[in-house]
Amino acid sequence: MFKAAYPFASKFKYIAQTLAKVTDMIPFTVRPEGMEVKMLSPDKTTMIILRLPNLAFDSYECDSEKTFIVRADELTKIVRRGTRNDILEFLLDEERRRLVLVFRDKRTGVSRRFYLQLREGVVEKLGEPKIALPVKIRMLTEDFKNMLKDAKIVSDEIDMKAYSDRLEAIAEGHQKNYKNIMRIDKPLISYEASAEATATYGLDLLEVSLKAMQACETVYIEFGENFPMKLTFDIPGGGVLIYWVAPRAKT
């Protein structure tokens, strides 16, 4: 069986909305050690990985590895109903081929139950990119979000340039340009560049992570010379959401 109670229902809706922006079907893998979602976008420009260890849950029961698939739009419609006072309970009903989602109010004990039909398909086993990325940055999600929104006014892509002492974000459009120079405490929380690097990324792909930012205070950013960008968000309770974005080739 699989049964788990996640204490941050209002945060999970942002996680689900982020997953839904990558693909129409969300494949879950649950094991005794925790829950995982690993997906590649149809055009293979992005990969998203959600890991929630069993310790992230108030209670967690799983006797063996199981996989199941749900429609992204159906899941987000349900989890959007979660409030700050709710615990979100998951129950896999294998006999009826459905996922039961229960919102239980922490204060009153009142529960609301939803049934989500499982979809047919095989959960693909995907490997995560194994790349040494020389640039490592931690910043507030609010600062990262503002950077993306500022650049979007000018262009549909952003150049990330890492130097030994600073990070530059640059966007250029028709008779418009944007440049943001960032250093430690201005506003970066941490910064390390073992090598100088420049890479270009599509803002539409990076904006997929905006929903996840509402569930997290900081984001850990890694990239390298014309390498994919790796965004890591620490999920409440001890989980992690990892988002890989392919670089754009400069013409």
Structure confidence by residue, pLDDT tens digits, 191-227: 999 999 999 999 999 999 888 888 888 999 999 999 9
Number of domains in the chain: 2
Same domain, 158 and 219: yes
Taking residue 43's Cβ as centre, other Cβ atoms within 10 Å add up to 8
- Could you tell me the residue range of the domain that residue 221 belongs to? 135-245
Facing residues of 93 across strands? 98
CB-neighbour burial class of residue 10 (10 A; exposed 0-12, middle 13-18, buried 19+): middle
Structure confidence by residue, pLDDT tens digits, 138-157: 999 999 999 999 999 999 99
Same domain, 77 and 144: no
Q: How far is residue 37's CA from residue 25's CA, in Å, rounded to a whole number?
A: 11
Q: How far is residue 240's CA from residue 243's CA, in Å, rounded to a whole number?
A: 10
Same domain, 145 and 51: no
Same domain, 93 and 158: no
pTM of the model: 0.91
Strands 167-173 and 135-140: unpaired
